Homo-oligomer: A and B are copies of this chain.
């Protein structure tokens, strides 16, 4: 475990991480004198095939973004130089800070479509401006935590390591995927900066290039073992996997004499389950029963499930591209929508994109064993049986206590343990019951009657 320098992992980013239309709308609000309080909620419209539930993530970075929100002098000068904005409005931007309230589901909470996981209550300019970056932060980490949770469910007792930085979509995606997968239950990551910046445990072995650079695989193994005596995990598939395993067996006694113990091997190509079985036999026959087998290479939850179902003797998995890009479902149908302005509930009615108006709360019921049974989405204040899932996390721009990554990870594990069994088994489609309360139906009808469009 490495000591983090900056445990909160500030990745907030510039106020210009926004769409141009947020600024043109803000000028519209400014010029029209519209300064009342708006309520926006972030939610997912529907699940795509391949997901039975989602796991909320990204709140920590969202709150950091809101806390740090301000336009720098350079940014203001640049905005002025575009000629798009008037001086009165630019003066407003100069002093703009986030002074609103935020309610949210804690990170690691399981949720479903139409359930808001974050609500912003703030003067409309603030609440509008932050839409783009809040979606960007909540969407991606929720996407990855939801994907990673599926792997945790199918391989609960295995070492699961994020290997995805290289094919993640940019550096921030790599760092946030390390975080999102760790909070969902992964053991750690290979991404060094995620170790330093976010305090996530680091794992790593060697690459094929290390073997290739040596004149002979055996020499490469020896060099590596002496350089990393406490972490001797040898990659054995550069030329021939089973030959590689035999070399590991041959090398072990010599290393033992130097006080170095081989911890395990990694396989990265071919039929991983078949190779694992053969390699296990070779290692066991050579007296290396303690050495573990680690597998990697284009893995996802389906391949993990199949390998484990076939009894493949694999102790851990390095999971990269397909998790860090959530390759089967690379985006969620999510939105951040205005639900109230100046005390009046609001509703978008565009075809196929209608929203439920008003400030909402989600109540969740559990059975006697603690398993989730049903959720109700209703208006705040319309108390329902069960546990309310949205809690206050920021008041007047000031954060409440920060949850540590360890807290979040523990909460996520509890939520996964409480899933109905079919969702734990990745049986899809499975329609968990999410009821829209009568109060919401009534408010929607009332808003529709009053829209003077």
Contact = CB atoms under 8 A, between A and B. Distances in A.
A316 to B, nearest CB: 14
A131 B24 contact: no
Contacts of A321: 331
Contacts of A204: 19-24
Contacts of A196: 16, 75, 78
4 tightest Cβ-Cβ pairs between the two chains A and B: A20-B204, A170-B172, A169-B169, A21-B204
Interface in A405-453: 451-453
Interface stretch (A110-118, A231-239, A248-256): A231-239
A373 to B, nearest CB: 32
Interface in A220-277: 223-224, 226-228, 231, 237-241, 243, 268-270
User: This chain: how many copies in the complex?
Assistant: 2
Interface stretch (A49-57, A341-349, A382-390): A341-349
B78 A166 contact: no
Interface in A63-99: 74-75, 78, 81-82, 84
A216 interface: yes
B213 A341 contact: yes
Given A171-B133, A240-B453, A212 B341 contact: yes
Contacts of A302: none
Contacts of A240: 349, 453
A228 B351 CA distance: 27
Interface stretch (A31-39, A303-311, A392-400): A31-39
Interface of A: 2-3, 5, 11, 13-14, 16-25, 27-32, 34, 38, 40, 74-75, 78, 81-82, 84, 124, 128, 131-133, 135-137, 139-140, 143, 163, 165-176, 190-193, 195-196, 202-210, 212-217, 223-224, 226-228, 231, 237-241, 243, 268-270, 321-322, 325-327, 330-332, 334, 337-338, 341-342, 344, 346-353, 451-453
Given A19-B166, A331-B327, A227 B453 contact: no
Contacts of A32: 223, 226-227
Given A168-B136, A192-B18, A204-B23, A3 B81 contact: yes
Nearest to A191: B19
